[in-house]
Amino acid sequence: RPHLTRHAFDGLVMEEVPLARIAEVAGTPSWVYSAGTLRRRLGALRRALDGAGLAATIHFAVKANPCLAVLRVLAAAGAGADVVSEGELRAARAAGIPASAIVFSGVGKTERELRLALAEDILQINAESAEEVEAIAALAAALGRTARVALRVNPDVDARTHAKITTGRGENKFGVAISDAPALYARMAALAGIEPVGVAVHIGSQITAGMAAYRAAYAKVGALVRELRAAGLPVARVDCGGGLGIPYRDEPAPLPEALAGAIRAGLGDLGLPVMLEPGRWIAGPAGVLLASVVREKRGAAHRFVVVDAGMNDLVRPAMYEAWHGMLPVAPEALVAPLSPAEVVGPVCETGDTFARGRALPAMQPGALVAFLDAGAYGAAMSSTYNLRPLAAEVLVDGARFAVVRDRQGYDALLAGQRLPPWLAPPQE
């Protein structure tokens, strides 16, 4: 995490901005992102693909971090987008990502969403079923458009990641079986409203267990592409999905060069451009969740450090048993004696636990802590559970920083609700 350093007087500093300064301005909890790290990681991925001799485009998976400022940084650095909803499509466009660099994935695109994708004339729609292919064709024909459609296949490989985020097993809801793909692709080519442009695959997320699953998936897709071509069907490109994992703790970290090598091994000899849809690898390490200690509590069995961020902000530990690094922000924190603590939020669930048995110094109320690697699937997955307002978001860029999303206000938190007319209104 080259953007995080510890200074003798300022404590933890992101790029050139002390996190304590950000807490003064933005309050806590707040998400803080490093623009430099976003650019650096996008660049590293691009170099790895270039180095493998691949003609590749990178389409950031907006679901990982839909913050407009984050998207704008990536757009300015040349990234396209992978979107899965109307909201994400609108966010990508609002951040200046051209429609010609947007791919629309997802198993449940609605007619309204498909209409918008066609009206915007985005680069590509990844169809996930025969049923969806027919729906896209009918809609496109009715609108007098031609939809560029890639067929997402399910390669039936095991990415050996958390069961909740594995997507490439035959039993999962995603894509069509490879054995069904040739007939369906031929059907796509025959439909008036559809221009088949290729094959897409995505086998899961936070893949750290080596490249075997990627290699197996790309080998299957490569064989499929050869079969389609032999049948005289046009294939313009392959969408290789996302999923490259990051080391949250001490997992082996696959390098982008390894992924590029796996793509080249399976698809290199096809001579086709490839697309990548990374989310976590680009944004995860670029963000922290900055929180304050509310108080320490001596429990019957544990020392608890209660912070002002909760599972409604960062749900990954509760949802996936995920481990996130955690650093006290204060400069003196490193020299103080450490003892194990349970780090918990204020939400009324035992699952609202960020860390167990974590070695921490004595923490005074108001002491700042940073949860690391929170730039992907952090703010993106937060909710207002326990009626806690959505946290602020801050972008750091060198010595500059800006609040790029205000903390949600309490009026906004209750906005849109009304009582039915037959209930007596509350008196004072």
On whether 279 is known to bind a ligand per the annotation, the reply is: yes
Rounded Cα distance, 60 and 137, in Å: 27
Rounded Cα distance, 253 and 39, in Å: 19
String of contacts with ligand LLP for each residue 374-413, x by CB under 6 A: --xx---x--------------------------------
String of contacts with ligand LLP for each residue 277-316, x by CB under 6 A: xxxxx----------------------------------x
Q: What is the nearest approach in angstroms of ligand LLP to the Cβ of residue 240?
A: 10
By CB under 6 A, residue 153 contacts ligand LLP = no
Q: What is the nearest approach in angstroms of ligand LLP to the Cβ of residue 59?
A: 8
Among positions 200-219, residues that touch ligand LLP (CB under 6 A) are 202, 205-206
**Which C-beta is closer to ligand LLP: that of 99 or that of 319?**
319
String of contacts with ligand LLP for each residue 79-108, x by CB under 6 A: ---x----------------------x---
**Which C-beta is closer to ligand LLP: that of 196 or that of 254?**
254
Q: Which two tokens stand for residue 324?
A: 């996130």
42-46: list long-range contacts, CB under 8 Å, 24+ apart.
42/74, 42/77, 42/78, 42/79, 42/282, 43/77, 44/256, 45/256, 45/276, 45/278, 45/281, 45/282, 46/78
**Using only C-alpha atoms, what is the Rg of the chain?**
23
Q: Which two tokens stand for residue 335?
A: 């020299």
Rounded Cα distance, 131 and 286, in Å: 39
SS (H, E, C) 51-106: HCCCCEEEEEEHHHCCCHHHHHHHHHCCCEEEECCHHHHHHHHHCCCCHHHEEECC
Residue span binding ligand LLP (CB under 6 A) among the ranges 44-52, 58-66, 290-298, 398-406: 58-66
**Which C-beta is closer to ligand LLP: that of 18 or that of 279?**
279
**Which C-beta is closer to ligand LLP: that of 32 or that of 380?**
380
Residue span binding ligand LLP (CB under 6 A) among the ranges 128-136, 260-268, 373-381, 407-415: 373-381
Residue span binding ligand LLP (CB under 6 A) among the ranges 274-282, 298-306, 364-372, 397-405: 274-282
Nearest to 103 by CA among 67, 87, 134, 127: 127
By CB under 6 A, residue 242 contacts ligand LLP = yes
Rounded Cα distance, 351 and 168, in Å: 28
On whether 241 is known to bind a ligand per the annotation, the reply is: no
Residue with tokens 């995920």: 322
Among positions 7-26, residues that touch ligand LLP (CB under 6 A) are none
Rounded Cα distance, 135 and 151, in Å: 14
Among positions 130-149, residues that touch ligand LLP (CB under 6 A) are none
Could you say which of 300, 348, 419, 423 is catalytic?
348
On whether 226 is known to bind a ligand per the annotation, the reply is: no
Q: What is the nearest approach in angstroms of ligand LLP to the Cβ of residue 388?
A: 19
By CB under 6 A, residue 237 contacts ligand LLP = no
Q: What is the nearest approach in angstroms of ligand LLP to the Cβ of residue 364?
A: 31
- Residue 240 annotated among the catalytic residues of the structure: no
**Which C-beta is closer to ligand LLP: that of 166 or that of 292?**
166
3-state secondary structure of 250: coil
Rounded Cα distance, 372 and 329, in Å: 12
DSSP notation for 316-373:
HHHHH-----EEE-SGGGGTS--EEEEEE-SSSSTT-EEEEEEEE----TT-EEEESS
**Which C-beta is closer to ligand LLP: that of 75 or that of 360?**
75
On whether 278 is known to bind a ligand per the annotation, the reply is: yes
Rounded Cα distance, 158 and 309, in Å: 34
Find the length of the chain: 428
Q: Using alpha carbons, list the distances in angstroms from residue 188 to 141, 223, 413.
A: 13, 19, 45
The amino acid present at 381, given as its one-letter code, is: M
Rounded Cα distance, 94 and 359, in Å: 43
Residue span binding ligand LLP (CB under 6 A) among the ranges 127-135, 230-238, 271-279, 415-423: 271-279
**Which C-beta is closer to ligand LLP: that of 61 or that of 75?**
61
Find all residues with CB under 8 Å of 179, minimum gap 6, and list them.
none
Residues interacting with ligand LLP, by CB under 6 A? 61, 63-64, 82, 105, 165, 202, 205-206, 241-244, 277-281, 316, 320, 376-377, 381
Instruction: List the binding residues for substrate.
Output: 280, 316, 320, 349, 377
- What residues act catalytically? 348
Instruction: List the binding residues for pyridoxal 5'-phosphate.
Output: 243, 277-280, 377
